[in-house]
Structure 1
Amino acid sequence: RCIDNGPMESFWGTLKCEKYYLHQYKTFEELSLAIDEYIHFYHHERYQKRLNGLSPMEYRAKAA
């Protein structure tokens, strides 16, 4: 029961729900590209209420 894995488990769970389970991928490369695109979306374009309506990157930049 390692609490350090919590954020990563949450991210991968969200990715699977929002991207993986909703699409069918024919090749590994197609899946890999979709994951890369989702990671960019998650960090730069996915605004979150718990971050005061900012994306994670905007929130980090504002905090720095």
Structure 2
Amino acid sequence: MEKNLFNNCDNLSFLLLIIENFFGILKSELFCIQKFESLDEIKREVKQYLSYYNSVRIKSNVNKMSPIQYRAHYYQN
């Protein structure tokens, strides 16, 4: 049986914390340092940032690996 993460208030609170943390990082690393001319430009930059965030950006809380590196390491062990 598949567990629904949204059925438990503790899980929902944790997910909201993660989302809020991500948007704070996105704001400080993208929106606070760059001016945008159009909605299309924003969409393009956010898409590029998500790729960077998930595959390149190092996270200190996952042994200084990118999320992709961490998942690969996790599944090898």
1:32 aligned to 2:43? yes
After TM superposition, the score normalised by the length of structure 2 is: 0.76
Identity %: 25
Q: Greater relative contact order (Cα 8 A, min sep 6): structure 1 or 2?
A: 1
Distance change (3 Å), C-alpha of 1:61 and 1:12? same
Gaps of 5+ in 2: 1-11
Structure 1 residue aligned with 2:73: 62
- What is the CA-CA distance between 1:4 and the residue it aligns to? 2.3
TM-score, scaled relative to structure 1: 0.89
Larger Rg: 2
Aligned residues: 64
1:49 alignment partner in structure 2: 60
RMSD of aligned C-alpha atoms?
1.4
Q: Any idea what the Cα deviations from partners look like across 1:3-53, whole Å, max 9, x if unmatched?
A: 321111111110001101111100000000110011010011101222112
Q: Rate the CA distance shift 1:61–1:8 in 2: closer, same or farther, 3 A.
A: same
Q: Which residue of 2 aligns with 1:9?
A: 20
| Superposition misfits of 4+ residues, deviation over 6 angstroms | none
